A and B are shown apart, each in its own frame.
Chain A
Amino acid sequence: MKDTDIKRLLYAHLLCIFSIILSTFVPSFFLENFSVLKTHLTWLCICSVLVTVFNLVLYLVVKPNTSSKRSSSSPKVARFLKCCIYFLMSCFSFHIIFVLYGAPLIELVLETFLFAVILSTFTTLPCLCLLGPNLKAWLRVFSRNGVSSIWENSLQITTISSCMGAWLGAFPIPLDWERPWQVWPISCTLGATFGYMAGLIISPLWIYWNRKRLTYKNN
């Protein structure tokens, strides 16, 4: 592993953060009355679309997984469709988990689902980009000592930190501060976003810090 790899990782992550910042500021030029809290659903859509686009572009440009062998047998269209299905499935499973956690079953379905979408964007989408619709690889990355590159390592960190952020974001909901952001699911989406951004920043630093200790099978 070289320092240049880490640098590339850092720049890629900074671009992802930039996409989120973009999604909070740019729409106010085009849309009236746009604000993250008041028109939360619009922001959620824009943010997830922007993050998706940036992620796709980045992975196409940077191509972090060229070294790992790719199953070229299946055609690209099929792979893409499979990815879409996986993404949708992850959205639905997140939705189910939120309902199990106590989100209302019938009211606020759209809100809950968009929260599931944005959390999938932060977690499942990068996995799909990097690993493809390959469950074995996913299980490898998320099991103990299974990572094989800094990209996968950072993937692990950002995914876990986004989920943790969403988890921690639920804490202020019962407090009686009467703030607009305490409404379901705003605090959770904000938590997930901050968690994702924190993960993006932390992972290059953490990898840089531990670069002596980390050894990957492939590198």
Chain B
Amino acid sequence: MRLGAGTFAACCVAIEVLGVAIFLRGFFPVPVRSSAGTGQQSELPAPEPSAGATSNWTKLPPPLFSKVVIVLIDALRDDFVFGPKGMKFMPYTTYLVEKGASHSFVAEAKPPTVTMPRIKALMTGSLPGFIDIVRNLDSPVLLEDSVIRQAKAAGKRIVFYGDETWVKLFPKHFAEYDGTTSFFVSDYTEVDNNVTRHLDQVLKRGDWDMLILHYLGLDHIGHVSGPNSPLIGHKLREMDGVLMKIHTSLLSQEKERALPSLLVLCGDHGMSDTGSHGASSMEEVSTPLIFISSAFERKPGGIRHPVRVQQTDLAATLAIGLGLPIPKDSVGSLLFPVVERRPMREQLRFLHLNTVQLSKLLQENVATYEKEPAFEQFKMSERLHGNWVRLYLEEGRSDVILGLGTKVVKQYLEALKTLSTALSTQGAQYDVYSMAMGTAMVLEVLALLLLSTPQALRPQAELQVPLLSPAFSLLFYLGFLALSAVHVVVCTSVENSCYLCSLSWLAAGGVMLLVSALLCAAMSALVKACQAGDLRKHPARPRPRWSELELLLLLGTLGHMLSLGASSFVEEEHQTWYFLVNTLCLALSQQMHRSFLEDDQAVPTLPTADVACKVQARPVLPGDLRKWTVLASPWLVLVCCRMLRSLNQTGVQWAHRPDLGHWLTSSDHKAELSALAALSLLVIFLLTQRGCSPVSKGALALGLLGVYCYRVAVGNLLFPWRPDSRAISKGIIEARFVYVFVLGILFTGTKDLLRSQVLAAEHKIKTMGLWEIFSGLILLAALLFRPHNLPVLALSLLTQAVLANFVWKPLGHSAVEVTVMHYWFGQAFFYFQGNSNNIATVDISTGFVGFDSYAEAPAVLLTAFGTFAGPLLWASHLVHFLSSEASSGTALGHAGFCYALAGSASAAIYLVLVTALRYHLFIWSVFSPKLLYEGARLLLTAAVCAFCSAMDHTGTSGA
């Protein structure tokens, strides 16, 4: 079967996407749980150890607090309470922390720092897997053991107001609830009022045992305007008021009850300096955790630095405080200060319960638990505890016994610490079988692509697909049989869950079939390549030498792929791309000088002969002028890149550096931002309109005006004639106005493309259609980009124009070189936009542009487009550029093939690297997010390749 190179590449990438999907399913493990079934309450609590003496304390200790109120403020960072902001905006809380009866901690959240996994961690005490981030949007019911479940089982009445996620996680657990949806990010007053309005009534009623309040406003402010926005102060003050109200109410009612009540203030995760969260920077993982109760000792005063603890410790502490069994999967340890005023015997009992629960978890998850130092420590402290209880029962309380008890407590605390860390570092189990199948598929596709490169990059850009080669059919059947055998063996022997085994037989068989067919195809391609190599040796045709530029492109692409094996290079990948793009510009400049020089010396036989023609064909002065513009163009691109680089600082190491973007988005510089945005929109219009039909020109102009109006309506920009209007709306009308023009331009473009196919000769119409599609995408990007990112769009267009007119056309680069350069620039612009290999930098507010409420499909699509706008725009420019070049019969096929090769090679190498590094310390914080990005990018590559090959087809059918 003969196929065009582009089509072949698109098919290959599609298969590779499937392989990556299987790999991802195997890579992101389901978190390990306690094997004991959840739900049944049959287990008795561990009795007190007593070393021979008879202790009759086998029941759970009684609760310490009668009522618990948990105030969870989304994205409450530790310095919002303990730092200068807290002092300024939360005076009551600061007073409680410094002088009141309270214990404060800084609780460290584990990545992913996203709301749902954090709620799980707080309530179950376990560490949710990374994949929870993907399930964040539609949280399934929590099946694990949690404090909420235990409280419900013990007959406590729980009341909840706040984020809907809780209601989804714990359905039927709350006696009363009112969930607020968290999806509309730009709303930060209504969500919190919806929680606070219940407060007076519920506090007065007092018919509950546990009250949970989850405030979302602070997180929304962070997403919209960052942690330094003045709105944060207002919100903190509001929260302080809420806290004061609850605390005074609890205190006033306390006299009527026997036991004191407990007020817990916590955050689920922090907030990075850009206001988002998801990753593992210090600002994102540090949250305050404050216990306030009259049971605690009133502090004499003075500021203490809060101790760092784990977020998972809350579950165990709450369970003990309420006299409940500790959740089974909890890896947290009791926060000792909370119980330190209880009698010594009770303290030891609490600690014992917690260590027993942790050691059980250890026994279930570690085969060689007896050798673990944590387990030894546990045994030792249990023995000491037993001895102490015997002494206590024999001699009663005395100072000596108390002193001994303190030693046992110390021993217990150490055991708790080691147990807790041993459990949290327990590597989650990978589904190696699915990972191996996915990797095999991806590597086979890569091999197939690599082996068919010489064939595909011939001028015909066609290749014989060796899929049906009969000589290897035996290999195919053998491979299939062997894989099936492996499948049966693996699925019958492995205890832990395996994704491929859980598939139906038909689907698994399909995967086997695909893998063996690919193997067979790759083998036959290899044989063919060997034969071709043998043939080629005889005529002794000299291989054309690689030019410096080609060498740079090849080595740069390869080097970047290999660099992803180091975590720092993943974190700072933008630096790699900026470096490579700069070097590329310098190399282009060098090539240009050389070609002009050789042109001056009138050397006729050079690949750049058409430069000579073009330059000499013109009159002297314009020719000279053109020469200078051409020589200056790479420097112009370099200057553009340098400016964009200082617009958004991304990555990890230098992310805190001040950048232009922050300066522009701060509320003092609205006028400057407005001017810059207007200028950028003007540049975008000037550069985009040149290829459009008059109708689309008008639509584009109106659309760009609409973009500005939308940003004014949202409150980012200003109209010069209305410099201080404060009215802020959601800008739905304006955004929809722009959407209409986007769709109109895209429609016109598609119509032109279809017409070019029908008329079968109009090359110009096709080019115009492609440009219209390109400009439609640009208009959409202009709408979605934050205003300070509009220069990225403008300079991207400028760079494309400069490179196309003054570099690629005059120097006559081949389609392959142009494709790889587009790939590089696309990657660089991905980072210029402010993206990084961190989930936190995904700007989810783009999903809400023009929508009243959350709608899943458009929100996901818009967010994906907004994130990958850079690579996508460069890819569509590539398609337009190559098809506008008249001489390119097969350029698009070559381009599609190269794009596919670059994308799939990087994905394949990254999969192999991640598999090799799966026990690396940073696997969850650094490598996994990058893996998700790489998967998304491969999907994008598949789409681009499909578009390329479609355009290629229309081209060939048109010609």
* A residues lining the B interface (CB < 8 Å): 97, 99-102, 105, 139, 143-144, 167, 170, 173-176
Contact = CB atoms under 8 A, between A and B. Distances in A.
Contacts of A143: 594, 597-598
Given A139-B597, A176-B653, A102 B638 contact: no
Given A143-B597, A143-B598, A100 B639 contact: yes
Nearest to A177: B568
A176 B642 contact: no
Interface residues of B, number: 24
Q: Mostly helix, strand, loop or mixed at chain A's interface?
A: loop
6 contacts: A100-B641, A143-B594, A143-B598, A167-B583, A174-B576, A176-B567
Contact of A174 (B572, B583, B586): B572
A119 B653 CA distance: 27
A173 B641 CA distance: 20
B916 to A, nearest CB: 19
B638 A100 contact: yes
Interface string B630-659: 000000001101100110000101000000
Interface in B601-652: 638-639, 641-642, 645-646, 651
B568 A176 contact: yes
Given A100-B642, A174-B653, 9 more contacts: A100-B639, A101-B579, A102-B575, A102-B578, A102-B645, A139-B597, A143-B597, A170-B579, A175-B568
Nearest to B578: A102
A105 B583 CA distance: 19
5 smallest CB-CB distances across A and B, nearest first, come from A174-B572, A175-B568, A176-B568, A100-B638, A100-B642
A68 to B, nearest CB: 19
Contacts of B582: 100-102
B566 interface: yes
Contacts of B566: 175
B568 A174 contact: yes
B569 interface: yes
Contacts of B583: 167
Nearest to B570: A174
Nearest to B652: A176
A139 B582 CA distance: 22
A144 B594 contact: yes
B633 to A, nearest CB: 14
A167 B583 CA distance: 9
B569 A174 contact: yes
A99 B639 CA distance: 9
Nearest to A170: B579
Contacts of B576: 174
Contacts of B597: 139, 143
A169 B140 CA distance: 50
A143 B591 CA distance: 10
A115 to B, nearest CB: 16
B642 A99 contact: yes
Contacts of A97: 586
A143 B590 CA distance: 10
Nearest to A107: B657
Interface in B577-596: 578-579, 582-583, 586, 594
Nearest to B600: A139
A75 B338 CA distance: 89
B53 to A, nearest CB: 55
Nearest to B645: A102
A144 B603 CA distance: 12
A174 B575 contact: yes
Indicate the member of A170, A173, A174 with the most B CB atoms within 10 Å.
A174
A148 to B, nearest CB: 15
Contacts of A176: 567-568, 571, 653
Contacts of B638: 100
A100 B637 CA distance: 10
Contacts of B579: 101-102, 170
Contacts of B568: 174-176
B97 to A, nearest CB: 34
B572 to A, nearest CB: 4
A165 to B, nearest CB: 14
Interface in B544-573: 566-569, 571-572
A170 B563 CA distance: 14
A105 B582 CA distance: 16
A167 B586 CA distance: 12
A16 to B, nearest CB: 26
A144 B545 CA distance: 14
Nearest to B639: A100
Interface in B400-414: none
Nearest to A103: B642
A102 B642 contact: yes
A132 to B, nearest CB: 19
Contacts of B641: 100
Interface string B707-751: 000000000000000000000000000000000000000000000
A173 B575 CA distance: 10
Contacts of B575: 102, 173-174
Nearest to B654: A174
Contacts of B578: 101-102
Nearest to A167: B583
A102 B638 CA distance: 10
B397 to A, nearest CB: 52
A95 to B, nearest CB: 13
Contacts of A99: 642
Contacts of A174: 568-569, 571-572, 575-576, 651, 653
A59 B645 CA distance: 43
A102 B650 CA distance: 13
A100 B642 CA distance: 5
B546 to A, nearest CB: 14
Contacts of B594: 143-144
Contacts of A173: 575
B564 to A, nearest CB: 12
Contacts of A170: 579
Contacts of B571: 174, 176
Interface string B188-231: 00000000000000000000000000000000000000000000
A139 B566 CA distance: 40
A24 B586 CA distance: 32
A90 B642 CA distance: 20
Contacts of B639: 100
Nearest to A99: B642
Contacts of B569: 174-175
Nearest to B635: A100
A141 to B, nearest CB: 12
Contacts of A139: 597
A174 B651 CA distance: 10
A106 to B, nearest CB: 11
A172 to B, nearest CB: 9
Contacts of B651: 174
A101 B576 CA distance: 11
B378 to A, nearest CB: 35
A105 B646 CA distance: 10
A105 B658 CA distance: 13
A88 B541 CA distance: 48
A174 B564 CA distance: 12
Contacts of A101: 578-579, 582
Contacts of B646: 105
A80 B383 CA distance: 88
Contacts of A144: 594
Contacts of A100: 582, 638-639, 641-642
B573 to A, nearest CB: 9
A77 to B, nearest CB: 31
A175 B568 CA distance: 5
